[in-house]
């Protein structure tokens, strides 16, 4: 052992309840696997947490949530950071990288309402809260009459806006609600056939300095091979589509055939749901990125480029 185990491993984390759950989860798993190891949390506030009243795309997107964490790793105040894979940018600053993808929780989105049991139950022109282009466009495709209104903030903030009566229903990630102990708020689960999840949704990843062999060795024990194959396929599709920070893109891969085959479904749509493109393909589980590129090319062949250009042109 090159370093004594008494040197703590430090996890940089945002302070939102979901981020804290994720960091605590990794801490508990690492300490269980490594008796004597001390894991500490380093709580940080990111710009994304401070600016709550502006659509994310206007203030610089999801990178705002990770920049402070990455600076802490680069200047040695922390060793690793735990991310929801759906929020992890495609590119990393020099010296940092995503070393591990962990096992996946629920990949789906959840329908949450205090008055209605399901999407089908909503009255005409009901108001549904979400700031996700991906959720909004699929909701509009299923129910063109619905009024989609912007909803930001952490999971608890979004629920309190529903409880205030600002919306008839809201849509949140199932895994986020379960992780912060609010699974009883899930009214019904939206299956991928209704609402295709975001690339990487429900999976956690760990970022660290690439030259930090001690941290890499410790976290590699948490890697999950099936989830890694799924998420690499989903993210390769997103990257090949040049998905920006806020994307009208869904992607979800599952393993079939005893884990030998990956089945990837992809979707790109106009934010108002007026045009929705879908593509699907199967490929060997040991070549996830090729499958992602293949499904992206199928979508581009149907005209996804024009839809995405129109969205990014609005910024």
Ligand X SMILES: NCc1[nH]cc(CCC(=O)O)c1CC(=O)O
Residue with tokens 């798993």: 29
Out of 78, 133, 137, 172, point to the residue binding ligand X (CB under 6 A).
172
Residue 202 sits in the site that holds ligand X (CB under 6 A): yes
Compute the residue count for the chain. Answer: 315
Residue with tokens 């929780």: 105
- What whole-number distance in Å separates Cα of residue 269 and Cα of residue 267? 7
- What whole-number distance in Å separates Cα of residue 303 and Cα of residue 296? 11
Residue (202 or 292) nearer to ligand X, CB: 202
CB 262 within 8 A of CB 284: yes
- Which residues within the stretch 240-259 sit at the binding site for ligand X (CB under 6 A)? none
Residue 277 Cβ vs ligand X, minimum distance, rounded to whole Å? 23
Beta-carbon neighbour count of residue 235 at 10 Å? 25
Q: What angle do CA 270, 173, 247 make, to 5 degrees?
A: 25
Segment contacting ligand X by CB under 6 A, of 73-81, 88-96, 173-181, 215-223: 173-181
Residue 87 Cβ vs ligand X, minimum distance, rounded to whole Å? 5
Residue 175 sits in the site that holds ligand X (CB under 6 A): yes
What tokens were used for 220? 């590699």
Which of 49, 75, 79, 87 is catalytic? The answer is: 87
Out of 79, 87, 168, 212, point to the residue binding ligand X (CB under 6 A).
87
Residue 303 Cβ vs ligand X, minimum distance, rounded to whole Å? 27
Whether 257 sits among the annotated catalytic residues: the reply is: no
Phi and psi at 279, nearest 5°, equal: -145, 155
Provide the binding-site residues for ligand X, judged by CB under 6 A: 84, 86-87, 155, 172-173, 175-176, 201-202
Instruction: Return the active site residues.
Output: 87
């Amino acid at each position: 052992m090159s370093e004594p185990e008494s040197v703590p491993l430090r996890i940089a984390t945002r302070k939102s309840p979901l981020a804290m759950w994720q960091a605590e989860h990794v801490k508990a798993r690492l300490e269980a696997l490594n008796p004597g190891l001390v894991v500490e949390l380093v709580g940080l506030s990111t710009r994304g947490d401070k600016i709550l009243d502006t659509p994310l795309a206007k203030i610089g997107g999801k990178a705002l949530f990770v920049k402070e964490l990455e600076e802490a790793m680069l200047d040695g105040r922390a060793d690793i950071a735990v991310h929801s894979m759906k929020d992890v940018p495609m590119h990393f600053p020099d010296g940092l990288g995503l070393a591990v993808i962990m096992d996946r929780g629920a990949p789906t989105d959840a329908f949450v309402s205090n008055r209605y049991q399901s999407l089908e139950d909503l009255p005409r022109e009901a108001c549904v809260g979400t700031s996700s282009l991906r959720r909004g466009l699929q909701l509009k495709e299923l129910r063109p009459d619905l009024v989609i209104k912007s909803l930001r903030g952490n999971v608890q903030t979004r629920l309190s806006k529903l409880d205030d009566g600002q919306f008839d229903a809201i849509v949140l990630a199932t895994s986020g609600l379960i992780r912060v102990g609010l699974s009883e708020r899930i009214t019904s689960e939206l299956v991928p056939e209704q609402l295709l999840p975001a690339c990487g949704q429900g999976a956690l990843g760990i970022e660290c300095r690439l030259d930090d062999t001690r941290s890499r060795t410790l976290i590699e024990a948490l890697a999950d091979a099936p989830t890694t194959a799924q998420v690499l396929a989903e993210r390769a599709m997103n990257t090949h589509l040049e998905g920006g920070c806020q994307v009208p893109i869904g992607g979800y891969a599952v393993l079939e055939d005893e884990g030998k085959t990956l089945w990837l479904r992809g979707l790109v749509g106009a934010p108002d749901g007026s045009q929705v493109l879908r593509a699907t393909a199967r490929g060997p589980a040991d070549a996830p990125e090729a499958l992602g590129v293949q499904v992206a090319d199928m979508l581009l062949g149907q005209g996804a480029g024009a839809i995405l250009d129109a969205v990014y042109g609005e910024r």
